[in-house]
Structure formats: C-alpha cells, structure tokens
C-alpha cells in the first residue's frame, strides 16, 4: 500500500524521523502534565468539577486544556490565555502606531511583539489563576473537602504553579514548531481535542445501543454525517480561486524570456482555522470576567455560557466572519502582489498593472472571502444543531464546531509539512502527483 510505503520513506529520512520523535516526546510530556494535580488537592474530591465541565462552555474550555481543567492540573488554564493575549496584540498592531512601527521592523520587531505577548499572557494568567481556585474550592466543598481560599500560601503558590504550567505549555508549543513537525500551539490544542474523541465516541455508541427502536442505525447515520461534514471541512480549507496571470515576452540577445501564462491561487478560506480559535477565545471572556462560576450569574452571562443557545451561536458566527476578514487582510496584501507582478513583467489580462491590479485582486478576495467565512461559521455552529437531534454533548462537538475545524486545519498543515520533507528528498508524498496536500499556505501561525 502507498500509505505504508510513505511511512517507510518517512522513517528513512533522519531529520524528519527526529522531528517526529521530538514531537511525540513533547506531546507525551504535555499529556503527562495534564494529570499532575496541584499540591494540596485530593483527586478523589474532584467529582463535582468533572460534572461541571461535562457540558456547556466549560466542556469546551476543558477540551482545549486536554482535560487538565477538570483534573485540577498544573496545566489547568491551558493555552487559551496566550491566544487571548495574541488577539490583543494583533488588534493593537492595527490601531496603535507604536505596535505598527514594531511590525514593520522585521524579525527584531516580531521578537519584541512576541515578548510583549508573553508578558500580557502572564498578566492574564495571574488574573485567571485565583478565579479558577475560587471555583475549585466551591466544587470541592460539595465533596466535603473545601479549600482555604484567600490571601494565603496555598492561593499564592497554586496561582504561581498555574501560571508556570501554562507558560510551560506555551514553551512546549514553541519547541514543537522549532524542532518538531507542525505548528506547536495549534498542535497542542489538537492533542487536547483528540484526547476527547475516543471517550465521546464510546459514550455515544453505548447510549444509542441502549436505545430501543434502531439505536444502532441512528449511530451509523451519525457517523456517516460526521464523515461528510469532515470531508466538506477539508474542501473548505483547501478550496482556491485561480486568477490568470500573463507574463510579457522579453528578448535579451538571442534568447526569449517570459510569454507564459500562470495562475495566482487565492484560497477561499485564506485564514484557515485561526478565525475559529480567535473567536472561541473571545467567547471565553465571560468566564474570565465573572469567574469560572459564571453559570450562576445573571441571565445575560448565562446566555453566553450556553453553547447550544441562540445568542451564543449567533455572536460566535459573527465573530468568525469578522476574524476571517481580519486575518485575510493580514495574510493577503493586494498592493504587494500587484507590485511583484509589475516587477516581474506580469499582468492580469484585461486589467491595468499597478493600482488597478491591486483593486482587482482585493475585489476578488472580498467576493470569495464572504461565502468562505459564512460556510466556516455554519460549520462552527453545527454542534448546536446536532444537540437538537439528540446527539450527546461530547460527540456533538465533533459535528463541525471548533473541534472539527481545528482538527482538519492542523492535521492538513502537519501533513503538508511532512510531505514537503518527502518531496525535498525526491520521495512521493501521501497522494499521487497532482493531488498535493494544501496547508495554511502562509497563514499566520501560533
């Protein structure tokens, strides 16, 4: 089989083999840390916390942390504070001249912005740590083992451990990016999601098996629909619109250059999964502001804690559409593309070079980004519709939603990097020639 042959080729390439083994090692460290409970916490008294994270927005938060949240682990706050800090810095780079200047400084400016992002992440963690401990104390009190929360050594030491744990997870992600395969931060999120898939699958199968009147048929139908949604998500991530480009003929001496027609591939969803991750981080803000016991607050907060409710999904969809346009504007620069075409004696047939070409490319991007962002938003809110048809909470998260889209985007991105290593060494990739895997294609990564 071609897949087995490709795996053998991967193992033959020393650099790629070492990168895969390094990635596996860092993943094992992350998963091990997800079960290391905070000092002073009795793991047997966490049943109420497990129940709290079984549904709603808290279940999503626990999934992003790979189950560390419900385990009261040192990694409980996960990677989302870093994503939230990144959103703030990205927005500041548009509105604040100081950050705009740093963005134009190249590699040195990028390093400065990364450092500021880390400082902001620490500030967010120091705010969320005590809030998490307050909620943990309430949940453990139901098990008869309340925690002494206040300005004491337990609160201070646990907050420091939670902050250090999340920063260590961020460090693991950066090391995966540098020395492993795939984008580290996205890969960390992917591992947390995949860790939930087997349990959700078995739970749904067991519940349908116990149903009278064709429960097994319903389960098989759910699996088929899940596969169809997965295939549609792949098509959305990989879909492109090609713009024809003609290169003018140049004659130097006795040789002729140019005169060929090529295409500029513009992705329907150039931003890939980043709008989903950013929008989800924004939807976690109610928890960060009012604490992890937000479900017991007023009706407004409760509406945005119910990920099956109308207002949550409506705002979530709008944020995805907005962030898709935002990220596409960052990734695709029509003016720069027009300048590059002009410098290489290229032009779009029927369009004047320069400003008119930039406007044409911008118009095409606006036209293909709108349907792409809407389809992305529809897939993201599909779990709410799955819940209406009786699919269990855990399994419904994979019927589209943040889970599926991140899985599709990150897996394709990782496979694309592996295939690039294979093609550089003149090995075949995962598919036949002409069916190459398309990853982020330049999308900003974390």
- In a domain, residue 439? The reply is no
The alpha carbon of 270 is separated from its chain's Cα centroid by a whole number of angstroms, namely 14
Residue 398: CATH number of its domain = 1.10.3370.10
Q: Is the dihedral of CA 174, 180, 186, 190 positive or negative?
A: negative
Give the closest residue to 328 by CA, choosing from 404, 266, 270, 405: 270
Largest Cα–Cα distance of the chain, in whole Å? 90
Residue by residue, pLDDT tens for the chain (446 residues) are 676 777 787 788 888 888 889 999 999 999 998 888 888 888 877 877 777 777 667 777 788 788 888 888 999 888 888 888 888 888 788 778 888 888 778 778 888 888 999 999 999 899 888 888 888 887 777 767 777 777 788 889 999 999 999 999 999 998 998 888 888 888 888 888 888 888 888 888 888 887 766 778 888 888 888 888 888 888 877 777 777 776 666 555 555 455 566 777 778 777 777 788 788 878 877 766 665 554 455 666 677 777 778 888 888 899 999 888 888 887 788 888 888 888 877 778 888 888 888 888 888 888 888 888 888 888 888 888 888 888 887 788 787 767 777 888 788 888 888 888 787 776 666 555 444 555 544 333 44
- In a domain, residue 429? The reply is no
Q: Let me know: does 112 contact 102? Beta carbons within 8 Å.
A: yes
- In a domain, residue 312? The reply is yes
State the Cα angle at 315 between 234 and 373, rounded to 5°. Answer: 30
Alpha helices, DSSP H only, in 142-214?
A: 153-179, 184-209
What is the number of domains present in the chain? 1
- In a domain, residue 145? The reply is yes
C-beta neighbour count of 367 within 10 angstroms: 12
pLDDT at residue number 379: 86
Cα atoms in the 13 Å half-sphere on the side-chain side of 242: 6
Enter the pTM of the model: 0.76
92 CB burial (10 A radius; 0-12, 13-18, 19+): middle
Q: Let me know: does 100 contact 109? Beta carbons within 8 Å.
A: no
Host domain of residue 228: 2-424
Distance CA(78)–CA(166), nearest Å, equals: 5
- In a domain, residue 238? The reply is yes
- In a domain, residue 332? The reply is yes
pLDDT at residue number 25: 93
C-beta neighbour count of 278 within 10 angstroms: 24
Distance CA(242)–CA(98), nearest Å, equals: 37
pLDDT at residue number 45: 78
- In a domain, residue 9? The reply is yes
- In a domain, residue 440? The reply is no
- Mean pLDDT, the chain, integer: 79
**Beta strands 240-247 and 250-252, pairing class:** unpaired
Give the closest residue to 79 by CA, choosing from 246, 277, 264: 277
């Amino acid at each position: 089989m071609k897949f087995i042959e490709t795996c053998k080729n991967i193992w033959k390439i020393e650099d790629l083999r070492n990168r895969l083994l390094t990635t596996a090692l860092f993943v094992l460290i992350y998963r091990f840390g997800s079960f290391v409970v905070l000092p002073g916490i009795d793991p047997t008294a966490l049943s109420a916390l497990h129940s709290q994270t079984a549904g709603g927005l808290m279940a999503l938060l626990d999934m992003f942390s790979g189950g560390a949240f419900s385990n009261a682990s040192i990694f409980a706050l996960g990677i989302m504070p870093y994503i939230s800090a990144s959103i703030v810095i990205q927005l500041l780079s548009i509105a604040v001249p100081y950050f705009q200047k740093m963005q134009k400084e190249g590699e040195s400016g990028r390093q400065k912005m990364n450092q500021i992002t880390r400082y902001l992440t620490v500030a967010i963690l120091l705010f969320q740590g005590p809030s998490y401990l307050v909620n943990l104390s309430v949940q453990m009190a139901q098990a008869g083992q309340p925690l002494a929360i206040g300005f004491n050594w337990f609160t201070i030491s646990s907050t420091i451990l939670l902050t250090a744990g999340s920063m260590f997870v961020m460090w693991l992600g950066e090391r995966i990016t540098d020395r492993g395969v795939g984008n580290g931060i996205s890969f960390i999120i992917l591992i947390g999601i995949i860790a939930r898939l087997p349990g959700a699958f078995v739970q749904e199968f067991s519940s349908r098996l116990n149903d009278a009147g064709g429960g097994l048929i319903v389960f098989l139908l759910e699996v088929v629909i899940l596969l169809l949604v997965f295939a549609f998500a792949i098509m959305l991530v990989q879909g492109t619109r090609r713009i024809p480009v003609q290169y003018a003929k140049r004659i130097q001496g006795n040789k002729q250059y140019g005169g060929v027609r090529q295409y500029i591939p513009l992705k329907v969803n150039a931003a890939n999964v980043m709008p989903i991750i950013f929008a989800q981080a924004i939807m976690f803000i109610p928890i960060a502001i009012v604490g992890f016991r937000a479900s017991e607050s007023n009706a407004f907060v409760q509406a945005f804690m119910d990920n099956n409710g109308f207002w949550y999904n409506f705002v979530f969809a709008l944020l995805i559409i907005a962030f898709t346009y935002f990220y596409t504007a960052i990734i695709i620069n029509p003016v720069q593309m027009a300048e590059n075409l002009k410098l290489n004696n290229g032009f779009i047939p029927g369009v004047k070079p320069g400003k008119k070409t930039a406007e044409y490319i911008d118009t095409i991007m606006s036209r293909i980004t709108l349907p792409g962002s809407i389809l992305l938003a529809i897939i993201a809110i599909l779990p709410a519709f799955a819940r209406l048809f009786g699919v269990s909470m855990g399994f419904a998260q994979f019927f589209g939603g943040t889970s599926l889209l991140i899985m599709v985007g990150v897996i394709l991105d990782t496979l694309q990097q592996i295939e690039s290593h294979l093609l550089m060494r003149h090995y075949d990739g995962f598919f036949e020639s002409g069916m190459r895997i398309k990853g982020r294609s330049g999308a900003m990564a974390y």
